[in-house]
Amino acid sequence: MSELPIAKEYEGSVCEIKTMENSLIAIGKIKDVTEKYVRIINKKKELKVVDYGKLIKVNIFNTQIGFRVIVGNVYTSTRGEISIVSVVSLTNKERRNFFRVDMDLDAKAYSSFSSKAVDIKVLDMSLSGLRFSAPKEFGIGSMISVELDLNKKKNLTFPCKIVRVIGENKEDEFQYGCEFVSGKNDNSDALCSFLFQKQREFLNSRKNV
């Protein structure tokens, strides 16, 4: 009996579909993992149609069981779904390979040591984490909660871990890179929808250049 190319638990995970040259094709969700293929869907039908047999790369994000990169050959491709065969799972790939969206978004951060919010500015965001500036110094490895207004209905909170300090600090402003970690409330669907919107804006602006 053949083994699955990736764990069945990756079904439902948000993912990025890219060319082998790292150009973004679209964002989607893993629908099915079988011995023969991996199927990815996009309910808004925003996938690009890819040629049969083309080798592509898929970055899969799952806070529970970890980040995974797979490559495979396109078997079927429509605007709503894509399936790949001859899937090979890669390891030791950096999360920074995720498609990042530049932005200028006001948000709040809460540290585990204080209930007082710190006003921050989100500078870019991906499926795996975000970069922000703040008038406060955080240590690498610190756990914080970032409160974001993504859907204009209610603010959503994302547990994060500070993983690096970026650049030189300027006049009471510090920049940090942090990664999302799993929490009690999984807001990945809202994050995915938000990045869908930003992805569309990015691709549309690129077409108009």
Which of 65, 97, 129 terminates a domain? The answer is 97
**Which range (33-37, 38-42, 167-171) has the least confidence?**
167-171
Q: How many domains does the chain have?
A: 2
Same domain? For 31 and 74 the reply is yes
Give the burial class of 156: count Cβ atoms within 10 A of its Cβ; 0-12 exposed, 13-18 middle, 19 or more buried.
middle
Quote the pTM value. 0.60
Which of 97, 121, 156 terminates a domain? The answer is 97
Residue 181 lies in domain: 101-201
Same domain? For 109 and 166 the reply is yes
Instruction: Please tell me the predicted confidence (pLDDT) of residue 79.
Output: 93
Six-digit token string for 71: 């490559």
Domain of 159, CATH number, reads 2.40.10.220
Six-digit token string for 109: 């951060």
Q: What is the pLDDT of residues 147-203, one digit of tens each?
A: 988 766 678 888 999 999 886 666 668 899 998 886 555 677 677 777 767 766 766
At 95, is the pLDDT very low, low, confident or very high (cuts 50, 70, 90)? Answer: very low
- Whether the per-residue pLDDT at 88 is higher than 80: the answer is yes
Structural domain contains residue 125:
yes
Rounded to an integer, the average pLDDT of 137-149 is 90
Structural domain contains residue 116:
yes
Q: Is the sign of the CA dihedral 28, 200, 21, 51 positive or negative?
A: positive
Same domain? For 88 and 60 the reply is yes
What is the phi-psi region of residue 34: left when phi exceeds 0, alpha when psi lies from -120 to 50, beta otherwise? beta
Same domain? For 120 and 84 the reply is no
Instruction: Please tell me the predicted confidence (pLDDT) of residue 1.
Output: 47
Percentage of residues of the chain with pLDDT beyond 70: 81
Structural domain contains residue 111:
yes
Same domain? For 56 and 118 the reply is no
Same domain? For 80 and 112 the reply is no
For 64-90, give the secondary structure using H, E and C: CCCCEEEEEEEEEECCCEEEEEEEEEE
Instruction: Please tell me the predicted confidence (pLDDT) of residue 175.
Output: 92
Which residues are CB-neighbours of 118 under 8 A, at least 6 positions away? 108, 109, 110, 111, 134, 135, 136
Instruction: Please tell me the predicted confidence (pLDDT) of residue 93.
Output: 46
Whole-Å CA distances, 97 to 35, 69, 94, 190, 200 = 26, 10, 6, 21, 19
Beta-bridge partners for 32: 39
Which residues are CB-neighbours of 89 under 8 A, at least 6 positions away? 5, 6, 68, 69, 70
Which of 97, 112, 145 terminates a domain? The answer is 97
